[in-house]
Chains A and B, each alone.
Chain A
Amino acid sequence: MKKVIEGSMAVAQAVKICRPHVISAYPITPQTHIVENLSQMVADGELKSEFINVESEFGAASVILGASATGARAYSTTTSQGLLLMAEVLFNIAGLRLPVSITCANRSVSAPINIWNDHQDAMTVRDAGWIQLYAEDCQEVADMQIQAYKIGEKSEISLPVMVNMDGFILTHAFEPVELIDQKMADEFLPPYKPEVYLTTKKPVTFGVLAEPAYYMETRYRLQQAIEASKPVIEDVANEFNKVFGRYAGGLVDKYRLDGAKTVIVAMGSVVGTIREVVDELREKGKKIGLLKIRAFRPFPKEAIYDALKDVDNIIIMEKALSLGFGGILLNETKAVFYGKARQPKISGYIVGLGGRDVPNKSVINAVRKAESGVVEDSFVDLREELIGIGE
């Protein structure tokens, strides 16, 4: 049954049907509507979770760590400064192989403080060992949220999953969303049954000191697990499609790649804009397509190569950068083509930082520039009059 609801409410509804035992909540714009909706559901008896209003995001992540270690399904949500504050715990959760889920309402990072969307927050913690999924629209966030637990809780994976949705752009957008009914959700997502957890029935010691003789293997196994999640991410998306009739999630999404000589690669809500541009340019006879990255971690090298191997011009448009190096998605995509016989032109643009709008014509201009020569780390739509201030 489709309803026009706010993105945050779509997430809250999706979380509700996952039946989390413990939810920890610390408010931060633009995630606030998610935690507010969840708390109202709890207050009305609609959602039977232990809802913990924690003292900080650090506490939020620590609470779900403890809950998951005890065998509970646990959830939290944050963004930006909150995600960075809990960074220490994110690494800890992944290292302890606890399959919690966090929705990150992607927002820029301070300083200067800015509450609008970009991907710098989640990108900064890409090395933590979390599976990272990026949603294009409100429907996809809701669908990815339920898939997240199914992926993470598979016993051979046992990893935490971050579902990323663009702050304000998706959290505060009203879109038609097909809400999943509880009964179908229960069939798709069975209860969490870990083999090892904190219980007096079978005591274990979690979180040990691993000396040089032991530490490296734990990281090796973590890397193996996150790599092994690639087929699982696809399988779960396929199963979701079979049950609910929608393909959402998976590693990548190909849009009009047949015969495309130029392909734009992007993640998140900006993909919606790029789809329109691709359609417009295709009308004009241009052989152009779009590759949407759905899973950023694990980085779907094989799927990307497979989709783009015959393309001449690859144009990355991303909402984050590694300061002192350059575009993150750009450089990771370049690495996919390292050593390959056929070397396409790979250009990269930084767009939409701090919530700056990315209109269709900016995308078109970017494509035009990239076709006349390789572009690297070009900041799209910089306001010339503001550069030079302070010099």
Chain B
Amino acid sequence: MPKPEGIVVKPGSSKEYKTGSWRVKKPVFKHDKCNDCRICVMVCPDGVIFGEDKKYWADMDFCKGCGICAEECPVKDIEMVLEVR
């Protein structure tokens, strides 16, 4: 019997925990002025922005609404709005 306790055999299993429930504000990707710089993809601390061809989204299961993507987007194509749930 291998060591069962204290060992997580499924790497990356944290995705079972949906941090999206933490959000107060959410990023809205307008897909209007995007120039495919992919800065948003790189600077998201949780790494949950994805997309291509000038269309990007945040995975709402995990996005914590920190606002870094909106702040750093050089063409201001992302806006943080209060999320109503």
Is A156 in contact with chain B by the CB < 8 A criterion? yes
Q: Are B6 and A95 in contact (CB under 8 A)?
A: yes
Q: Are A206 and B1 in contact (CB under 8 A)?
A: no
Residues of A within 8 A of B3 (CB): 96-97, 158, 196
Query: Which of B2, B4, B7 is A205 in contact with, Cβ under 8 Å?
Result: B7
Nearest-neighbor residue (CB-CB) of B13 within chain A: A205
Count of residues in B whose CB is under 8 Å from the partner chain: 10
Residues of A within 8 A of B11 (CB): 203-205
Give the Cβ gap from A55 to chain B, nearest Cβ, in Å: 27
Q: Are B5 and A196 in contact (CB under 8 A)?
A: no
Is B9 in contact with chain A by the CB < 8 A criterion? yes
Is B8 in contact with chain A by the CB < 8 A criterion? yes
Residues of B within 8 A of A196 (CB): 2-3, 7, 9
Query: Which of A195, A203, A218 is B6 in contact with, Cβ under 8 Å?
Result: A218
Q: CA–CA, A195 to B1, complex, Å?
A: 8
Main SS at interface, chain B:
loop
Query: Which of A96, A155, A210, A221 is B2 in contact with, Cβ under 8 Å?
Result: A155
Q: CA–CA, A208 to B8, complex, Å?
A: 8
Q: Are B6 and A156 in contact (CB under 8 A)?
A: no
Give chain A's interface residue range (CB within 8 Å of chain B).
20 to 34
Give the Cβ gap from A136 to chain B, nearest Cβ, in Å: 33
Provide the A160-198 mask, 1 if CB < 8 A to any CB of B, else 0: 000000000000000000000000000000000011100
Is A207 in contact with chain B by the CB < 8 A criterion? yes
Q: CA–CA, A217 to B5, complex, Å?
A: 8
Q: CA–CA, A158 to B6, complex, Å?
A: 14
Q: CA–CA, A97 to B5, complex, Å?
A: 9
Main SS at interface, chain A:
loop
Residues of A within 8 A of B1 (CB): 155-156
Q: Are B7 and A210 in contact (CB under 8 A)?
A: no
Nearest-neighbor residue (CB-CB) of A96 within chain B: B6
Q: Are B8 and A205 in contact (CB under 8 A)?
A: yes
Give the Cβ gap from A96 to chain B, nearest Cβ, in Å: 7
Q: CA–CA, A157 to B9, complex, Å?
A: 19
Residues of B within 8 A of A96 (CB): 3, 6
Residues of B within 8 A of A208 (CB): 6-8
Residues of A within 8 A of B6 (CB): 95-97, 206-208, 210, 218
Q: CA–CA, A33 to B79, complex, Å?
A: 69
Identify which of residues 247-288 in chain A touch chain B, using a CB-to-CB cut-off of 8 Å. Answer: none
Identify which of residues 1-53 in chain B touch chain A, using a CB-to-CB cut-off of 8 Å. Answer: 1-9, 11
Residues of B within 8 A of A222 (CB): 5
Q: Are B5 and A218 in contact (CB under 8 A)?
A: yes
Q: CA–CA, A95 to B9, complex, Å?
A: 17
Give the Cβ gap from A211 to chain B, nearest Cβ, in Å: 12
Residues of A within 8 A of B2 (CB): 155, 158, 194-196
Nearest-neighbor residue (CB-CB) of B2 within chain A: A195
Residues of A within 8 A of B8 (CB): 204-205, 208
Nearest-neighbor residue (CB-CB) of A157 within chain B: B1
Give the Cβ gap from A362 to chain B, nearest Cβ, in Å: 46
Tell which of B3, B9, B11 has the most Cβ of chain A within 10 Å: B3
Q: CA–CA, A60 to B57, complex, Å?
A: 48
Residues of A within 8 A of B5 (CB): 97, 210, 217-218, 221-222
Tell which of B2, B4, B8 has the most Cβ of chain A within 10 Å: B2
Give the Cβ gap from B59 to chain A, nearest Cβ, in Å: 22
Q: CA–CA, A221 to B4, complex, Å?
A: 9
Give the Cβ gap from B16 to chain A, nearest Cβ, in Å: 14
Q: Which B residues are closer than 8 A to A by beta carbons? A: 1-9, 11
- A-B pairs, top 7 by smallest CB distance, nearest first, are A195-B2, A218-B5, A97-B3, A205-B8, A203-B11, A196-B2, A156-B1
Inter-chain pairs besides A156-B1, A158-B3, A207-B6, 11 sampled, C-beta below 8 Å: A97-B5, A97-B6, A194-B2, A195-B2, A196-B7, A204-B9, A204-B11, A205-B11, A217-B5, A221-B4, A222-B5
26 A-B residue pairs with CB within 8 Å:
A96-B6, A97-B3, A97-B5, A155-B2, A156-B1, A158-B2, A158-B3, A194-B2, A196-B2, A196-B3, A196-B7, A196-B9, A204-B7, A204-B8, A204-B9, A204-B11, A205-B7, A205-B8, A208-B6, A208-B8, A210-B5, A210-B6, A217-B5, A218-B5, A221-B4, A222-B5
